[in-house]
Amino acid sequence: MGLGNANFNSVDSSSKFIAKAPEFAIIPEPVSLVQADGHFTLPEQIIIQAPADSKNIVDYLKTRLTVPTGKYISESSGNTPGSIKLILNTHENRQLGDEGYQLSVTPQHIVIKANKNAGLFYGVQTLLQLFPKEIESKEEVADKKWTVPAVEITDYPRVAWRGLMFDVARHFFTKAEVKQYIDGMVRYKFNILHLHLTDDEGWRIEIKGLPKLTEVGAWNVKKTGNFGSFSPAGPDEPRTNGGFYTQDDIRELISYAKERFVEIMPEIDVPGHSLAIIASYPELSCTPGAENYRVRSGERIMDWSRGAPPIALVDNTLCPANEKVYSFLDTVITQVAALFPFPYIHMGGDEAPINFWQKSDAVKALMQKEGLKDMHQVQGYFEKRVQQIVESTGKKFMGWDEVLNGNIPPSAAIMSWRNASYGIGASRNKHEVVMSPQDFVYLDLMQGDPIVEPKVYSSVLLSKTYQFDPVPAGADPKYILGGQGNLWTEQVYNMRHAEYMTWPRGLAVAESVWSPKAKKNWSNFIAKTEQHFKRMDIGETKYATSVFEPIFKSNRTPDGQLMVELQTEIDGLDLFYSFDNSYPDHFYPRYTEKLVVPKDAVQLRVISYKGKQPVGRMITISTDELNKRAGKK
């Protein structure tokens, strides 16, 4: 039942689901792993021996071990023998680089060696995955034998940039929730958190001297339903939904991330996606009447029927012909650069509509003055000026791949999202590139059948994400910084759903950017993922079970009867179904071939089993929906 529907990203039909749990379920897959004899058992008195400047790693490991085991853990930076030893190499092991490590587990001790503290930290993450799943518990687990299999591991990352983007603009997430997201990332050796801080729905960072950005721009009307089709907010509806981070909040987040070897990249998305700015400071728009604009609450503001660029229904762009815009951005960028140590500032540049610019006398005058021939060149003029501001602060400019349309200098770094070809081309033109193509790593897209997922414009199944290659064929690898998955949050209203959308596809991204390409194996990855689901259950992290669930494809028999095909992303599952409105289990009919839908049936229910255990959710789809998918009779 391997997927064959092109709409849902087909899976290699030769892939087989491994039913047996793997001995080692380490994600991302290490470079080298050799199993040895025996096990290490955590003693009653645990001593961690580590260098003095590795205290943040020791504190992290102590917390992770103490909570579930209830054991007392002491530490030593001297010659006191330790049952767990963290060692910084006195002579650099070039193979390991700055982030690699060697992990040795014997029945007597555990030793992690690395050139730098980052490597020790990643070795700790691997070590924790070798413990029983109960190590993820947030409370003490009684009467548990804490053992680790003896093993020798050498490991280091494939690429340097291993990121996740968290959109905190569409829906605001608290400082504590951002920390929670970082905690999830580091378990899988991600090292960059890209914070999307501004958009039409909110401005999320305090800027001194521009108070309206957070007094006005950070707040909208709370709406529930399908984002993008909400009713326009009325003048009397309270604008109390949202929030922002003070500059002290940002410093706290940066410090929290740094202790976990994560750097935070800020994004200020301009010239499009700027309605929160325009609502705060209407004079930065080219369009008369902008003083009546309000921060978007999820109502429709773009017409995408003709593709990109969209037709804007309200002008959400900054005016490239207005000098006040560049003064505004200079203030913003100068403060952002001072706050964030990370060398890059992401300045957006995506999906900027042009229909209001085309009507603007100021833009027409700019074009004549600067010899600009079209709107691509107008945006190019804007991007080059913004790049100059960014570089004047000592930072590097990064933008979405649309900034390439304006012949931006090679010193601009590119985040390639529309598809891999833009990143490939940019690398060949000597731009630094981060690969994040939407058809592989957009974590906001549906990950199962649309009948059970929040509706968005496309789907990316786990198997497709696992095919992600951060260094695609044809690219100049010298200019590929790495890769990243992006979680946009238009349809993500809370932290539990953010976790659901991130995992397990985030696991696939992690293995793609860390593990050697030759070590990637879909069947092995799925078997490991199933074990990580059990760990996430204990750690109370939400995840999607979509990989276990069917996708429904319907058509018609030659005589016009409705027929349905059930497709699965992985093999080794049994699907049981009912048309009689009851709830199937493994005593019900098992799906073996396409089904003709009974004439008067109103719904089909399906549940997946692995052996005698249900996996995934019970899914109900109406015959009306199946008819719609099959088309007219």
Mean pLDDT of 28-37: 97
**In terms of Cα–Cα distance, which of 343, 317, 346, 342 is closest to 332?**
346
- Give Cα 125 distance to the centre of its chain: 19
Mean pLDDT of 509-513: 98
Residue 490 has pLDDT above 80, yes or no: yes
Partners of residue 264 on adjacent β-strands: 193
The Cα 419–Cα 152 span in angstroms is 39
Mean pLDDT of 518-538: 97
Task: Give the pLDDT of residue 8.
Answer: 39
Task: Give the pLDDT of residue 309.
Answer: 85
pLDDT by residue (tens digit) across 530-549? 999 999 999 999 999 999 99
Mean pLDDT of 281-299: 97
Mean pLDDT of 76-80: 66
Scanning 193-347, the segments in alpha helix (DSSP H) are: 212-215, 247-259, 275-280, 323-339
CB atoms within 10 A of CB 98: 14
Q: Which phi and psi (to 5°) does residue 158 adopt?
A: -75, -45
Task: Give the pLDDT of residue 23.
Answer: 83
pLDDT by residue (tens digit) across 205-256? 999 999 999 999 999 999 998 999 999 999 999 999 999 999 999 999 999 9
Residue 144 has pLDDT above 70, yes or no: yes
Place of tokens 């996708």: 551
Task: Give the pLDDT of residue 3.
Answer: 46
Contact indicator for 623, 602 with CB cutoff of 8 Å = yes
201 has catalytic annotation: no
Mean pLDDT of 453-459: 91
pLDDT by residue (tens digit) across 170-200? 999 999 999 999 999 999 999 999 999 999 9
The Cα 430–Cα 416 span in angstroms is 14
> What would the DSSP string read from start to end of 167-221?
E-SSS---HHHHHHHHHHHHTTT--EEEEE-EETTEE-B--TT-THHHHTTTEE-
Angle at 53 between CA 52 and CA 56, to 5 degrees: 105
For residue 80, name the pLDDT band (cuts at 50, 70, 90): low
Residue 41 has pLDDT above 50, yes or no: yes
Mean pLDDT of 98-107: 97
The Cα 354–Cα 370 span in angstroms is 18
Mean pLDDT of 120-144: 97
Burial of residue 16, with CB atoms counted within 10 A of its CB: 0-12 exposed, 13-18 middle, 19 or more buried: middle
Task: Give the pLDDT of residue 328.
Answer: 98
Residue 48 has pLDDT above 70, yes or no: yes
Strands 101-105 and 551-556: unpaired
For residue 632, name the pLDDT band (cuts at 50, 70, 90): confident
pLDDT by residue (tens digit) across 406-425? 999 999 999 999 999 999 99
Contact indicator for 326, 385 with CB cutoff of 8 Å = yes
Scanning 37-110, the segments in alpha helix (DSSP H) are: 55-69
Task: Give the pLDDT of residue 77.
Answer: 67
Task: Give the pLDDT of residue 79.
Answer: 62
Burial of residue 86, with CB atoms counted within 10 A of its CB: 0-12 exposed, 13-18 middle, 19 or more buried: buried
The catalytic residue among 75, 351, 432, 569 is 351
Task: Give the pLDDT of residue 81.
Answer: 64
Mean pLDDT of 585-603: 97
% of the chain beyond a pLDDT of 90: 91
Residue 2 has pLDDT above 50, yes or no: no
Place of tokens 């504590």: 176
All structural domains of the chain: 21-155 (3.30.379.10), 161-509 (3.20.20.80), 549-630 (2.60.40)
pLDDT by residue (tens digit) across 252-276? 999 999 999 999 999 999 999 999 9
For residue 567, name the pLDDT band (cuts at 50, 70, 90): very high
Residue 410, C-beta contacts closer than 8 angstroms, at least 6 positions apart: 429, 430, 431
Place of tokens 């060697």: 102
pLDDT by residue (tens digit) across 4-17? 333 333 333 334 34
Task: Give the pLDDT of residue 10.
Answer: 37
Torsion (CA) 199, 204, 206, 210 in degrees, nearest 10: 30
Give the tokens for residue 615: 């996996």
Residue 38, C-beta contacts closer than 8 angstroms, at least 6 positions apart: 106, 107, 150
Task: Give the pLDDT of residue 633.
Answer: 64
- What b/e sequence results for 360-393 when a residue is b if at least 16 CB atoms lie within 10 Å of its CB, and e otherwise? beebeebbeeeebeebbbbbbbbbbbbbebbbee
Torsion (CA) 489, 492, 493, 494 in degrees, nearest 10: -100
Give the tokens for residue 308: 């990109």
